[in-house]
Amino acid sequence: MAGGRRKKQHFSRIHAFPCGKASLESDLSLIGGPGFSRVIYCNDPECFEAGVLNYGRNYVRTTKYTLATFFPKSLFEQFRRVANFYFLICAILSFTPLSPYTAVSNVVPLVVVIGATMGKELIEDWRRKRQDIEVNNRKVKVCIGDGVFHHTKWMNLKVGDIVKVEKDEFFPADIILLSSSYDEAICYVETMNLDGETNLKLKQALHETSNLHDDSSFQDFKALIRCEDPNANLYSFIGNLELREQQHPLSPLQLLLRDSKLRNTDYIYGVVIFTGHDTKVMQNSTAPPSKRSKIERRMDKIIYFLFFILVLMSFIGSLFFGIATREDLDNGRMKRWYLRPDDTTVYYDPKRAPAAAVLHFLTALMLYSYLIPISLYVSIEIVKVLQSIFINQDLHMYYEEADKPAQARTSNLNEELGQVDTILSDKTGTLTCNSMEFIKFSVAGTSYGRGVTEVGRAMAKRKGSPLPQEVIQEEAHVEEQTEQKPSIKGFNFVDGRITDGHWVNEPRADVIQKFVRLLAICHTAIPEIDEETGKVTYEAESPDEAAFLIAARELGFEFYGRTQTSISLHELDPVAGRTVESVMFERLAKNGREFQEQTKEHINEYADAGLRTLVLAYRELDEEEYSEFNQEFTDAKNSVSSEREEMIEEVAAKIERDLILLGATAVEDKLQNGVPECIDKLAQAGIKIWVLTGDKMETAINIGFACSLLRQGMKQVIISSEAPENKGLQKMEDKAAAAAASKASILRQISEGKALLTASSESPEALALIIDGYSLAYALQDDVKNKFLELAIGCASVICCRSSPKQKALVTRLVKTKTGNTTLAIGDGANDVGMLQEADIGVGISGVEGMQAVMSSDFAIAQFQYLERLLLVHGHWCYRRISSMICYFFYKNIAFGFTLFFYEAYASFSGQPAYNDWFLSLYNVFFTSLPVIALGVFDQDVSARFCLKFPLLYQEGVQNVLFSWRRIFGWAFNGVLSAILIFFFSISAMEHQAFNKGGKVAGLEILGATMYTCVVWVVNCQMALSISYFTYIQHLFIWGGIIFWYIFLLAYGAMDPNISTTAYKVFIEACAPAPSYWLITVFVLISSLLPYFTYSAIQMRFFPLYHQMIQWMRSDGQTEDPEYCHMVRQRSLRPTTVGFTARFSEHER
């Protein structure tokens, strides 16, 4: 079977492509030792030797459970929670004589709650299972002998199989590349699923296997591979291939990883070396760090507190019961004669009172279990899942251009979104688009391109200088051209001297020609030509590189392909190079510095305008010099010595010298839409914003001004390694002394900043801290970081420049652990993953740098501007809903549980419950649980429009106003007060009075039904008073819960007395016909709600919270009154010092 037409492509002499790192001799010597023992029999996976090794299958399982482990493992997960374990103990004890209720009535609610949670786990795991089935059943071509290839499922692959992967297919396992459709046995690989990078990687097979052109070539192919054991390192590989008794070193250049994709290559042949869970991608698939919200952690403390109250109540009850039992029989006289203490069991035996007290203690622990809300955890999980669905479906956070909605990747942290104190943000791709546009360049000392960037406009405003008249005219010209000519992505260059071929008329047209030609030649991009339209597009390693190629194409130098000796332009160009300016200027020849000063000046202007700059220079070589270089470079590249990398750098340095300067490019990475407005709103909400970027300081500062993170008049505390004394220190030969002196310099700068901070605290001036990566390395040391943090948190804005990914993560950890406040990190690239995972909340931007940040995040959005709505609207709502929901849960359980306790005290702690068994069991599951879920999903204190109009409302979450200990104990007190009013009013009204026309007094069953009716009414009406925003669903659940109680009482009471016990016809025969039943219900309801209503009225009138002030404004129609709105904003506890609102406020002062 033919492999298809071979592509002619030679890359052995292209310096621009990465040649990969071959295995070193010292590394190769490890093969066969510990950690390097893997042996692969290529094209012979069924041989005896391979069978003895027994390597794993290619079947992959990502599910949490299997059919056999689901029940034991899931049950273990459920009963790890203290509350659930407690209810399990109660359920077991309910089968003993100690139980105050029947076993069935106690077990059923536990089964329902645990079953609901396990059902959720099962559904989530089944989704993972379906994904596994889809992946494991993908097909790939495998050699089955005699050079014949057949399709087989991925899961059936074995180590040693020869596979043929075709264009745009994923690699089914970790594979060693043997050959490809290109003559040089190269292929292009997309690794977005592994590292989030969208640029293509070049791979190349060994020369010795590159002649395996088609299927039939593998008829007699046999080889032996010895390599490292499975590990998680994606970027290293050590091994060798034994072919015809010759050893050939293998490197990462030959390794194709599972889940990466073959691109721009018709097909490849390879041998499987790692399968299934041995593959590097599966070795890297560790569980993300477990994150829990602060509210959830506080909720655990409340549960423990309630356990303490429960034990205390049980102890007090058993103590009194023991004393009463001991005194029951005094000289033959029985006090509680109905218990027959003269002839009874151990439970009421006066002679064994201590034992009776201990047994009563166990009974009380079971009876008062209703203090602990059994359905709390499952209700919160349901609510959070529904909240996440609302976030995912919010059209205001849907980015139509890229078809990307917001995504809540975890529901555990919804309420944490409403408590963010500090945002730590990446810049490139997060605040900016990471979509570069070629806008200016400098050639032969002349600057071309008259467009003005957003940063440039901000800089002009900051300096108080109007834009030049010619720039304004040029901008008008740009707009006119845009209307006439469709815009080209990546090319925003407008200058009549250059466009439309006019550059040939410039005085130094020869230099411009070399400059643009260099842009078209010196790169690592791969062209793709549309066969129908002939249009060329580029797969580039970076957006900058793509912008250069598009600019060259638009200026007349189109790159469209590669060969062994040339790149697209039909002629060989002199060897050229480009690099960052600080390195390039050092390598210029004496006669190549003609435009150096003008170019440096232009570069500084471009950097001030927020543009990314790059210097271009070239050098002409004669044929003899090139041949000598090529030989040395090839020898260095093929070396396997430990100095291989140094040899390559040394050879490259020989030729990258005496360069002739051409000029510099400037590309713009525009701010995303809405970034300044979003930052302004977040600042008004009292959120501090830090920017952690790899850009140099000048660019970062100008971006800060453009997005209103910095403003004119704001004092800047700059901690920089560029300070004059530091520059000298870095050149010292004694590195230890240099490091100590640098550290002392950084400490001095921090101390000066703190002094400035102390002075500014007496005035309304705000400070901004700007620090570079070199200084940050010292600032993060253990003995310095606390001082650095004190300075940083006192500043309105913090910008960390030249930050490495590790430094980003360390800064995030420092802020999170030392301040104890909620941190949110937001980024879009693989270099932001550490920061996202370290923060309390990680938000990934699904931009152009792949999906690595998104895959490591808790929430994903397409644009930075959506962070405003995610926090100020959804964050505030979720925080309020979850806080109110938990407080109400504890209120209703305390109210219910204390009525049981009071009745126990009334009945001399006999262990007799006041309510029927099923009344007890269904209280939390049916009669009161649905309104709480509706509260957690639908309630709004104010609308989304007002959340955004009054960002200070967000401070309720930052200050934790709605879930403070004061508020929690307030709700607990309300619960105890409701229980007192319900019990004592019911007892007082029914104890000595005839209940019906026949003159009968109320018995236990009537008292229990009446008290329970009062509890159901009170807690549901309390919910109605607490809700700010009613929907039909809330009405249905609140009033439906009350109606359902009466329906249940009728239906349950109609059952056989052996089933309904004390509830048998209690409603239809006793309660319903008695006017006193209805009068007591109404009286108790009003009495129980009156304290809360009175407190709420006084608090709202004289001590309103932010949301209550806004509610008053809305009801009075004053939301558009600027004076009243300004007065409300003045109640903010944290002044706004960042954003354009702060800039205007400062200007007014």
Q: In the chain, helix, strand, coil percent, each to 5? A: 50, 15, 35
- In angstroms, the CA 341 to CA 745 distance is 86
State mean pLDDT over 1036-1043: 93
Sign of the Cα torsion 409, 415, 416, 421 reads: positive
Look at residue 485 in the predicted model and tell me its pLDDT.
55
Strand order in the sheet with 223-227: 38-42, 223-227, 239-243, 246-250
Helix (H) / strand (E) containing 798: strand 797-800
Of 925, 1083, 935, 1061, the closest CA to residue 1013 belongs to: 1083
- Ranges 48-57, 151-160, 504-513, most confident: 151-160
Helix (H) or strand (E) holding 262: strand 261-263
Q: Band of the pLDDT at 514, cuts 50, 70, 90? A: confident
Lowest mean pLDDT among 351-360, 413-422, 445-454, 455-464: 455-464
Which residues contact residue 483 at a Cβ distance below 8 angstroms, ignoring those fewer than 6 apart? none
pLDDT tier at 1048, thresholds 50, 70, 90 = very high
Comparison of pLDDT for 697 and 407, the residue scoring more: 407
To the nearest 10 degrees (0 to 180), the angle between helices 70-79 and 82-93 is: 100
In sequence order, which residues have a C-beta less than 8 Å from that of residue 342 and are 6 or more positions away? 329, 332, 334
Q: What pLDDT shows up at residue 794?
A: 86
Lowest mean pLDDT across 7-21, 221-235, 434-448, 1005-1019? 7-21
| CA neighbor of 884 nearest in space, from 841, 941, 843, 836 | 941
DSSP state of 1001: B
966 falls in which pLDDT band (50, 70, 90)?
A: very high
Closest CA to 929 of 546, 378, 251: 378
Q: What are phi and psi of 822, to 5 degrees?
A: -75, 130
Name which residue leads in pLDDT, 452 or 818: 818
Q: How confident is the model at residue 23 (pLDDT cuts 50, 70, 90)?
A: very low
Long-range CB pairs of 623-627 (<8 Å, 24+ gap) are: 626/575
Q: List pLDDT tens digits, range 888-920.
A: 999 999 999 999 999 988 988 888 888 988 898
Tens of pLDDT, residues 699-739 = 777 778 777 787 766 788 888 876 655 555 555 556 677 77
Question: Average pLDDT in the 576-580 region?
Answer: 40
Cβ contact 387:655 at 8 Å? no
Q: What is the pLDDT of residue 473?
A: 52
Amino acid in position 17:
F
The position carrying tokens 């919804």 is 414
> Higher pLDDT residue, 981 or 73?
981
Give the pLDDT of residue 638: 59
In the chain, what is the straight-line distance between the N-terminal and C-terminal CA atoms, in Å? 82
Phi and psi (nearest 5°) for 512? -60, -40
Taking 90 as the threshold, does the pLDDT of residue 1012 lie above it? yes
Using pLDDT thresholds of 50, 70 and 90, give the confidence band for residue 104: confident
Q: For residues 709 and 800, give the distance between their C-alpha atoms in angstroms, rounded to a whole number.
A: 13
pLDDT value for 396: 92
Alpha-carbon distances, residue 522 vs 546, 627, 674, 1099 (angstroms): 12, 19, 36, 71
- How many C-beta atoms surround the C-beta of residue 1039 within 10 A? 14
| Residues 6+ positions from 769 with CB-CB distance below 8 Å | 716, 717, 719, 753, 791, 792, 795, 797, 798, 799
More confident residue, 18 or 840: 840
DSSP string, 353-411: HHHHHHHHHHHHHHHGGGGS-TTHHHHHHHHHHHHHHHHHT-GGG-BTTTTB--EES-S
The mean pLDDT value for 1042-1065 works out to: 91
Q: Report residue 1017's pLDDT band, with 50, 70 and 90 as the boundaries.
A: very high
pLDDT at 573 over 50: no
The token pair at 628 is 């000598």
pLDDT band at 1123 (very low <50, low <70, confident <90, very high): low
Q: What are phi and psi of 768, to 5 degrees?
A: -125, 135
pLDDT at residue number 866? 93
Q: What is the pLDDT of residue 37?
A: 83
268-272, 355-359, 363-367, 644-648: least confidently modelled range: 644-648
Distance between alpha carbon 802 and the CA centroid of its chain, in Å? 23
At residue 824, the pLDDT reads: 94
What's residue 423's pLDDT? 92
The C-alpha atoms of residue 698 and residue 582 are separated, in whole angstroms, by 15
Q: What is the pLDDT of residue 981?
A: 96
Q: What is the pLDDT of residues 1071-1111, one digit of tens each?
A: 888 888 999 999 999 999 999 999 988 988 888 877 777 77
Read off the pTM: 0.77
Under DSSP, the state recorded for 543 is H
Sequence letter at residue 992: H
Rounded to an integer, the average pLDDT of 571-576 is 39
Could you tell me the two tokens for 969?
Answer: 């104990």
pLDDT tens-digit readout, 123-132: 878 888 888 8
Average pLDDT of every residue of the chain? 81
CB 663 within 8 A of CB 443: yes
pLDDT digits (tens, 9 = 90+) for 476-502: 555 555 455 556 777 888 888 888 777
Higher pLDDT, 28 or 302: 302
pLDDT over threshold 80, residue 10: no
**Lowest-pLDDT range of 216-230, 443-457, 558-572, 819-833:** 558-572
Report the catalytic residues: 426
Residue 1016 CB-density burial (10 A; 0-12 exposed, 13-18 middle, 19+ buried) = buried
Instruction: Report CA-CA distances (Å) from 751 to 727, 756, 789, 800, 807.
Output: 20, 9, 12, 18, 21
**Residues 1127-1144 pLDDT 10s:** 555 554 445 555 545 444
Cβ atoms of 562 and 10 closer than 8 Å? no
Q: Write down the pLDDT at residue 248.
A: 84
* Residue pair 803/811 in contact by the 8 Å Cβ criterion: yes
Beta bridge partners of 334: 329
169 contacts 150 by C-beta, under 8 angstroms: no
Greater pLDDT, 195 or 993: 993
Asked if 855 and 829 count as a contact pair (C-beta separation under 8 A), the reply is: no
Which letter does DSSP use for residue 165 in this model?
Answer: E
Joined tokens for residue 1053: 């009471």
Does position 28 have pLDDT exceeding 80, yes or no? no
Distances in Å between the alpha carbon of 449 and those of 179, 848, 933? 47, 26, 60
Predicted confidence band at 309 (pLDDT cuts at 50, 70, 90)?
very high
Tokens of 530: 């549309």
More confident residue, 424 or 463: 424
Question: pLDDT digits over 597-619, tens only?
Answer: 888 888 888 876 767 788 888 88
- Is 642 exposed, middle or buried, given 0-12, 13-18 or 19+ CB atoms closer than 10 A? exposed
pLDDT band with cut points at 50, 70 and 90 for residue 658? confident
Residue range 167-188: average pLDDT? Answer: 89
Whether pLDDT at 835 is above 50: yes
CB-count burial class (<10 Å; 0-12, 13-18, 19+) for 331? exposed
What are residue 393's phi and psi, to 5 degrees? Answer: -100, 10
Tell me: the pLDDT tens digits for 583-601?
556 667 667 678 888 888 8
pLDDT at 1127: 57
Give the per-residue pLDDT at 158. 92
Mean pLDDT to the nearest integer, 680-702: 83
**333 vs 1038, residue with greater confidence:** 1038
**pLDDT tens digits, 186-225:** 888 887 666 555 667 888 898 889 888 888 889 889 999 9
What is d(CA 719, CA 717) in angstroms, rounded to the nearest whole number? Answer: 7
**In this predicted structure, what is the pLDDT of residue 641?**
53
Q: What percentage of residues in the chain have a pLDDT greater than 90?
A: 21
Give Dmax (Cα) for the chain. Answer: 127
pLDDT at 1 over 80: no
* Of 1148, 1149, 1141, nearest in space to 711 by CA: 1141
For residue 288, name the pLDDT band (cuts at 50, 70, 90): low
Are 1141 and 987 in contact by the 8 Å Cβ rule? The answer is: no
Q: With bands split at pLDDT 50, 70 and 90, how would you rate the model's confidence at 272? A: very high
